[in-house]
């Protein structure tokens, strides 16, 4: 049973609930895999083996007593270092937060524990979770296990690299501008950004978030199969009164027509040929699964949504963010803030009011569009995953990266769910597509994702490539 780490979360949880294997055996296999491959990719930056084994023993004890082991009984999962996990530092990739030790769990950690998951380790992110690359001054660089010359993505780069390499069966990530969807894309796994209000969030160890992150940042799962994303979403989304934005929405909504829109160049995005090919193939897979797919010239406004999202994310409290980045001294975080200064600063009360007012209009337009087309297929990025640290080469490269990520930045402004489905490889470089649906219709994203996945290569963990 030493290869238990290769199984899907659903398979492993079933074996543990039926007592065919123990949670302890699964934990030992997961820790062995971590020890074997993490040194070459630096995806997990903090873990405590004795605590992992103790959590597994507690699950085995429940099952032995005839109690319910939970949806994720004994499944090893990883947690991103930017949310609270009791007894661990909520560093968010920062030296200045090395001593910010959480005294309680974030709701998503509590929910995973209630579902029987075992917390395997803490995964890396860039400083302040600002970038689509993963390096910082406290934990170092994370490498993409498929190809170390390309980014593992960011900001949940450690999460994407870990789950791709078989370190854990499900990875927790967060997303305010692509931070789940892009690491999944770059590492060749799947990643779900849920609707704002679906998964409860709160970090008691950190100051309250400004309004931009409150209405656009989410936690969500990365995994190797769509089925694992589905069960992870169910586990993560349980009620928690600490989040005033949480909504008791059903995981399954009303039946909608199997109708999808396919847009190769939303907002005039200069989409790479390989990405267009992946989208066209995904559309054909949907058709083979009984969906009607219509190619459209454009979507409701994306460029404006991306501009406003960037202002809410980086502009609201810009001077305080810049001061913190200067204290940290991280050159990549400073480049992100300084490179966007002209776009986001100054951001006064009138600008904030205008952005929130305009948001209502854009949410309405997108909701009406997604009523007609329940699912939308668009690029995750205009390009294949970037060369690692591309944004730090020069000003032109910085601009190129930000322009390519239009769809990742825009979708959070409306609070919509978005799913990255990994579809194939170009050489050894992953490519995939993004599936968008209406608010609280993650079920439609997942249904379309399962159809696309079913005609591709089954997801399985890989050994890191040197």
pLDDT per residue as tens digits for the range 233-249: 999 999 999 999 999 99
| pLDDT for residue 11 is more than 80 | yes
The reported pLDDT for the residue numbered 458 is 84
Catalytic residue among 8, 80, 129, 219: 80
The reported pLDDT for the residue numbered 344 is 94
| pLDDT for residue 276 is more than 90 | yes
The reported pLDDT for the residue numbered 438 is 98
The answer for 67, left when phi > 0, alpha when psi is -120 to 50, beta otherwise, is: beta
Catalytic residue among 155, 156, 219, 237: 155
Question: What is the rounded average pLDDT for all residues in the chain?
Answer: 97
156 is catalytic: no
The reported pLDDT for the residue numbered 457 is 85
User: pLDDT digits over 436-461, tens only?
Assistant: 999 999 999 999 999 999 999 888 99
User: pLDDT digits over 382-407, tens only?
Assistant: 999 999 999 999 999 999 999 999 99
* Average confidence (pLDDT) over 52-78: 98
pTM score, whole prediction: 0.98
CA–CA dist 400, 67 (Å, integer): 54
- Percent of the chain residues past pLDDT 70, beyond the cut: 100
* Average confidence (pLDDT) over 119-145: 98
284 is catalytic: no
219 is catalytic: no
| pLDDT for residue 466 is more than 90 | no
CATH 3.90.1300.10 fits 9-454, yes or no: yes
User: pLDDT digits over 325-355, tens only?
Assistant: 999 999 999 999 999 999 999 999 999 999 9
- Percent of the chain residues past pLDDT 90, beyond the cut: 99
| pLDDT for residue 1 is more than 70 | no
């Amino acid at each position: 049973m030493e290869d238990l780490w290769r199984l899907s979360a659903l398979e492993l949880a079933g074996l543990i609930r039926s007592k065919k294997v123990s949670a302890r055996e699964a934990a030992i296999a997961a820790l062995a895999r971590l020890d074997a491959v993490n040194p070459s990719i630096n995806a997990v930056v903090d873990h405590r083996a004795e605590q992992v084994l103790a959590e597994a023993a507690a699950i085995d004890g429940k099952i032995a007593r005839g109690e319910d082991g939970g949806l994720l009984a004994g499944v090893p999962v990883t947690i991103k270092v930017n949310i609270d996990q009791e007894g661990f530092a909520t560093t968010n990739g920062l030296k200045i937060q090395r001593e910010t030790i959480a005294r309680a769990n974030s709701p998503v950690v509590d929910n995973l524990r209630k579902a029987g998951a075992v917390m395997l380790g803490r995964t890396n992110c860039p400083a302040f979770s600002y970038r689509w690359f993963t390096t910082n001054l406290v934990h170092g660089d994370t490498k993409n296990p498929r190809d170390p010359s390309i980014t593992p993505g960011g900001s949940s780069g450690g999460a994407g690299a870990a789950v791709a390499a078989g370190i854990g069966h499900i990875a927790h990530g967060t997303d305010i501008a692509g931070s789940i969807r892009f690491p999944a894309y770059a590492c060749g796994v799947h990643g779900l950004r849920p609707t704002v209000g679906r998964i409860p969030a709160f970090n008691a160890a950190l100051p309250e978030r400004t309004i931009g992150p409150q209405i656009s940042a989410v936690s969500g799962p990365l995994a190797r199969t769509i089925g694992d994303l589905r069960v992870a979403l169910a586990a993560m989304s349980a009620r928690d009164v600490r989040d005033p934005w949480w909504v008791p929405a059903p995981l399954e909504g009303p039946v909608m027509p199997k109708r999808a829109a396919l847009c190769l160049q939303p907002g005039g995005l200069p989409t790479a040929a390989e990405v267009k090919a992946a989208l066209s193939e995904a559309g054909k897979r949907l058709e083979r699964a009984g969906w009607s797919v219509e190619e459209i010239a454009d979507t409701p406004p994306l460029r404006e949504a991306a501009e406003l999202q960037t202002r809410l994310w980086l502009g609201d409290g810009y001077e305080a963010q810049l001061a913190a980045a200067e204290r940290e001294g991280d050159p990549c975080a400073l480049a992100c803030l300084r490179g966007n200064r002209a776009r986001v600063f100054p951001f006064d009360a009138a600008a904030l009011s205008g952005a929130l007012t305009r948001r209502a209009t854009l949410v309405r337009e997108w909701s009406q569009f997604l009523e007609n087309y329940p699912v939308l297929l668009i690029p995750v990025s205009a390009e294949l995953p970037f060369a690692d640290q591309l944004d730090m080469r020069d000003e032109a490269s910085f601009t190129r990266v930000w322009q390519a990520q239009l769809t990742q930045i825009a979708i959070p402004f409306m609070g919509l769910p978005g799913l990255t489905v990994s579809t194939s490889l170009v050489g050894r470089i992953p490519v995939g597509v993004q599936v968008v649906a209406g608010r609280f219709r993650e079920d439609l994203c997942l249904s379309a994702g399962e159809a696309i996945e079913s005609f591709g290569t089954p997801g399985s963990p890989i050994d890191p490539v040197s």
